[in-house]
Amino acid sequence: MDKSFTKGVLSRTDCQAVVASSIALAKGLGITTTVEGIETEEQLDYMRNAGVELAQGYLFGKPVPMTEFGRDNAVMLTALVA
Active site residue 42: no
Catalytic residue, chosen from 36, 41, 42, 53, is 36
Beta-ladder partners of 79: 55
Residue at 60: amino acid letter: F
CA distance 10 to 32: 22
Residues 23, 16, 45: CA angle, nearest 5 degrees? 75
Active site residues: 36
